A and B are shown apart, each in its own frame.
Chain A
Amino acid sequence: MAHEMELTMVKGNEALGEAAIRAGCRFFFGYPITPQSELPAYMSRRMPEVNGTYLQAESEVAAVNMVLGAAAAGVRVMTSSSSPGYSLKQEGISYMIGSQLPAVVVNVMRGGPGLGNIQPAQGDYWQMVKGGGHGDYRMISLAPSTVQELVNLTVQAFELADKYQNPVGILADGLLGQTMEPVRFPEIKEDPGPHTKPWALTGCKGRGKRIHTSLELSPEGLEKHNIKLQAKFKVMEDEVQFEAYKCEDADLIVVAYGTAARVARAAVDAARQLGLNVGLFRPISLWPFPSAALSGLVDRGVTRFLDVEMSAGQMVEDVQLAVLGRAKVDFYGRTGGIVPTPREILNEIQKVMGGEAK
């Protein structure tokens, strides 16, 4: 393909699909649910064009287990869903982590709990970042805030999954999934393929068996397996990503991710115009959480943080853990699928700073 990599206008959900294909993903198993349905719809159209496989499973549970099977065969594979559907995939994610199989799992969050609604929300932070499935496990969780970043992080997610033989999560929300923006796609990459994975199930003619299982009945054996997994998770802790915006001289730092961070950036700019020294700290990897960077801001003298989420307050606990009581952490959140406005966040900034500066 000789065409230049020009900017094209793409909806978040479709951009995610195209990015996966360009990362070498040729297998997608999913089930429709708003607000991520454009992604499986895009894959159903696009996969046949690249000799890939799209399959709409009979349920989310079936889809995630198909992902497990494809991952065991050593190919790049992805599934996606939205909050209630993502809940259904937790068993498979835990099994993949137990079996050390790489895959990319996407949650385009909507309002909850339960069926909730189909508007954008961030109430699934704990679920993806702290576990969701059973057992002691960790999963790199990436939170894009623009369609371009969604593309970049999707490509990265496949690399990270293969690197650590572990699923990688992408945590987006309905607004990002539905937003159409200009993006630049990377060149198409080949899936490194099963031959680069000495554990892949490729048919054992002429060689010994390879077994993937998360079952280990002996306590000693399972503890040994857990120690091995934990050592791997420890190494994964290096994959921290964040963005610090106007934080250098800030007295107050707003902490937000994804869509909330994007809105907060406008509030920070507005606060700066009012002469308030405010910055934005945006975690991009939610796990590993950029605790050291936040703690570093406290070392530098920051005493106030304002955590903003489209939830009742989940990431705020990680912010509190990072600063360990050395700074005050306020919280502002909207729930139910409501996206806070820049003005609302600016009001909160003024409220928090008013009590201190004046």
Chain B
Amino acid sequence: MFMHEILIAGFGGQGVLTAGQLLAYAGNFEGKCVSWVPAYGPEQRGGTANCSVVISDQQIACTLVTEPSLCIVMNQPSLEKFEKAVKPGGVLVVNTSLCEKKATRTDITVVNVAATDTAIELGSQKFANMVALGALLGAMPVVDIEMVLKAMLKVMGEDKARFIPANREALKRGMEAAKSAVHA
């Protein structure tokens, strides 16, 4: 019996909603119960954005995640807002490229990953969400990364197949970062 309650937060344009959708689709491909909800306050481009994803082997009760077991924060305001919300024993992925401060919780696993810098190395900062998602999956293998890539074709369209190798690399770089962080 498992229930992953995932919250992904950042600023608009960082692909946090997309990362959440890919995760949900990947879970769906694997036959799990999934849900995805965007935070839909009076948001605007460049403002904060987040989404809730639940992946479980049983019927999902609440689709809105307020106390995530797994959390990705892509920027400093998100770290400040959501670090305290993570369930004890949970995982927090921090994009250190855009967070000046460090996470301070000791009762959770903190995975520091320079997602934006790594993405730029890979050719575009647009891959940052995939690096961070890879880090999350490295710390907790919720779904297979190949399913995330399959989801990408479903969500973005088959004509985006040429971007798959770069995204696979981004996910892998994130996973490696997580492994060294978790074992550190």
Contact = CB atoms under 8 A, between A and B. Distances in A.
Interface of A: 7, 9, 34-35, 118-119, 174-175, 178-182, 262-263, 265-266, 269, 339, 341-342
B35 interface: yes
22 contacts: A9-B25, A9-B28, A34-B40, A35-B40, A118-B40, A118-B41, A119-B41, A175-B64, A178-B38, A179-B63, A180-B21, A180-B35, A180-B37, A181-B34, A262-B61, A262-B62, A262-B63, A263-B61, A269-B61, A339-B64, A342-B61, A342-B62
Interface of A is mostly: mixed
Interface residue range, chain B:
20 to 34
A13 to B, nearest CB: 11
B47 interface: no
Contacts of B62: 262-263, 266, 339, 341-342
A182 B28 contact: yes
Interface centre among B21, B24, B60, B63 (most CB of A within 10 A): B63
Q: Which 9 A-B pairs have the closest CB atoms?
A: A266-B61, A180-B36, A179-B63, A263-B62, A179-B37, A181-B35, A265-B61, A182-B28, A339-B64
Interface in B69-100: none
A266 B58 CA distance: 11
Nearest to B35: A181
Contacts of A269: 61
A175 B61 CA distance: 12
B68 to A, nearest CB: 12
B47 to A, nearest CB: 15
A266 B65 CA distance: 13
Interface of B: 21, 24-25, 28, 34-38, 40-42, 59-64, 66-67
Nearest to A268: B61
B141 to A, nearest CB: 21
B34 A182 contact: yes
A9 B36 contact: yes
Given A180-B24, A181-B60, A266-B61, 15 more contacts: A7-B28, A119-B41, A174-B40, A175-B63, A178-B38, A178-B40, A182-B28, A182-B34, A263-B62, A265-B59, A266-B62, A339-B64, A341-B62, A341-B67, A342-B61
Given A262-B61, A341-B66, A342-B61, A179 B40 contact: no
B98 to A, nearest CB: 27
A181 B60 CA distance: 10
A334 to B, nearest CB: 12
A323 B71 CA distance: 44
Contacts of A341: 62, 66-67
Contacts of B38: 178
Contacts of B67: 341
Contacts of A34: 40
B42 A118 contact: yes
Contacts of A342: 61-62
Interface centre among A7, A34, A118, A179 (most CB of B within 10 A): A179
A181 B63 contact: yes
Contacts of A174: 40
A118 B25 CA distance: 27
A128 B46 CA distance: 38
Contacts of A178: 37-38, 40
A119 B37 CA distance: 12
Contacts of B28: 7, 9, 182
B62 to A, nearest CB: 5
A341 B35 CA distance: 16
Contacts of B37: 175, 178-180
A265 B61 CA distance: 6
A118 B63 CA distance: 17
Contacts of A7: 28
A259 to B, nearest CB: 8
B61 A179 contact: no
Contacts of A119: 41
B42 to A, nearest CB: 7
Contacts of B40: 34-35, 118, 174, 178
